[in-house]
Amino acid sequence: MDYFHIIEDKQDLLKVSNLGLAYLGDAVYEVMVRSWLVLHGRLTPGKLHQSALAYVAAPRQAAMMEKLYPLLTEEEDRVYKRGRNANPHSHPKGATRQEYQIATGLEALFGWLYLNGANDRLNTLFEAMLAGEEV
């Protein structure tokens, strides 16, 4: 198994829990953010870490999802809503419950796309989210 280039059957992906997709998507999103920061700025390790934390926080993810939502296909919208409507038992104190749910939906979408092997689509959506952002 090549864990960097996974392509799962869509039927098998339906069996993955919403929060499981979000768990994986959180890591995929964070790797993409870290890559973007390293490639687009000359920051010290401490500044890289602070910048990454700002981008992966639920309020920022929820704001980014507003830019992204109109670009989603019907299938991606279903996956996003599956993740958004998952029922986590808590949320971080720096975010509202709604922001956390939207961020969970975004992460579920990124996890699902990753498991589908849809790297081009991940990159397209990620670039759309970060359009106009400065490091």
Mean pLDDT of 20-26: 94
Q: Can you give the pLDDT at residue 68?
A: 94
Cα separation, 62 vs 83, in Å, equals 13
Cα separation, 132 vs 31, in Å, equals 20
- Please say if the pLDDT value at position 13 is more than 80: no
Mean pLDDT of 15-37: 93
Top-ranked range on mean pLDDT: pick from 10-24, 44-58, 103-117: 103-117
Instruction: Give the residue among 104, 60, 59 at the shortest CA–CA distance from 84.
Output: 104
26 tagged catalytic: yes
Q: Is residue 135 part of a domain?
A: no
Q: What pTM does this model have?
A: 0.91
Q: Is residue 5 part of a domain?
A: no
Q: Is residue 57 part of a domain?
A: yes
Q: Which CATH number do you get for residue 101?
A: 1.10.1520.10
Residue 132 neighbours by CB under 8 Å, 6+ apart? none
Q: Is residue 2 part of a domain?
A: no
Per the CB < 8 A criterion, the answer to whether 28 and 122 are in contact is yes
Q: Is residue 4 part of a domain?
A: no
Q: Catalytic one among 2, 9, 12, 26? A: 26
Q: Is residue 71 part of a domain?
A: yes
Total domains in the chain come to 1
